[in-house]
Chains A and B, each alone.
Chain A
Amino acid sequence: KAGVTQTPRYLIKTRGQQVTLSCSPISGHRSVSWYQQTPGQGLQFLFEYFSETQRNKGNFPGRFSGRQFSNSRSEMNVSTLELGDSALYLCASRGWAVQETQYFGPGTRLLVL
């Protein structure tokens, strides 16, 4: 079974721009979560989508948004990029049951100049 895939793998943007990241979950998984990982803050939860509905949201500004499509693929958007948004953005998918394991993708490395 193919794992979680994320595109693009690397991105370089400048301050003020916006960016869209994509995540395709494991086949059959309906839940997609997004995390931001930085050396200083570690892994921090952004939001989770289940069956196209946002089920949970972390403590990030409104510049961070997401959505999920009917095929469970998810996108994350960051508008008005700031230098501090440079990070590894990770997507994780999970099956139907909430206690199931989350499996992570390889991440998208975003550098904001």
Chain B
Amino acid sequence: EDQVTQSPEALRLQEGESSSLNCSYTVSGLRGLFWYRQDPGKGPEFLFTLYSAGEEKEKERLKATLTKKESFLHITAPKPEDSATYLCAVHPNNDYKLSFGAGTTVTVRA
């Protein structure tokens, strides 16, 4: 069965203090790995898709990387508006659905 584990569960950062979130996965063939951001009471907002090991994608202060067993979401010099829950999801080769991790809740203090 596909498994997605995100760590840490919660992360409190000072504004400007860079950090990384981890998403480790077990899947029988990876079609794609997705990162989403979710604000309280709202639907997940798409950030990145990664398809193969070694791939990297960047958007503003966020950078996502992928290896054969895990993905990292790096937040560089975060601002309070980066506070949210970040969700990782895997799409296996033999299925249509996404399997989500429990998420990492990031709080950035000014």
Contact = CB atoms under 8 A, between A and B. Distances in A.
**Are both chains from one complex?**
yes
Interface of A: 4, 6, 31, 33, 35, 42-45, 48, 50, 55-56, 58, 88, 90, 98-99, 101-107, 109
B59 interface: no
Interface residues of B, number: 24
B35 to A, nearest CB: 11
Interface string B41-80: 1111110010100000000000000000000000000000
Nearest to A9: B41
A103 B95 CA distance: 18
Interface of B: 31-32, 34, 36, 41-46, 49, 51, 87, 89, 91, 95-103
A101 B43 CA distance: 15
Contacts of B91: 99
A99 B43 contact: no
Contacts of B44: 43, 90, 104
A98 B96 contact: yes
A107 B97 contact: no
Given A43-B87, A56-B95, A109-B41, A101 B100 contact: no
A58 B46 contact: no
A24 B89 CA distance: 23
B43 A105 contact: yes
B43 A106 contact: yes
Given A33-B96, A103-B46, A104-B45, 9 more contacts: A6-B43, A33-B97, A35-B100, A42-B100, A42-B102, A43-B87, A99-B32, A102-B34, A104-B43
Given A98-B31, A101-B49, A45 B99 contact: yes
Contacts of B97: 33, 45, 48, 56, 58
The 10 A-B residue pairs with the shortest CB-CB distance, nearest first, are A104-B43, A43-B100, A45-B97, A56-B96, A104-B44, A42-B102, A106-B43, A107-B43, A105-B43, A56-B97
Contacts of A4: 43
A44 B101 CA distance: 10
A55 B94 CA distance: 12
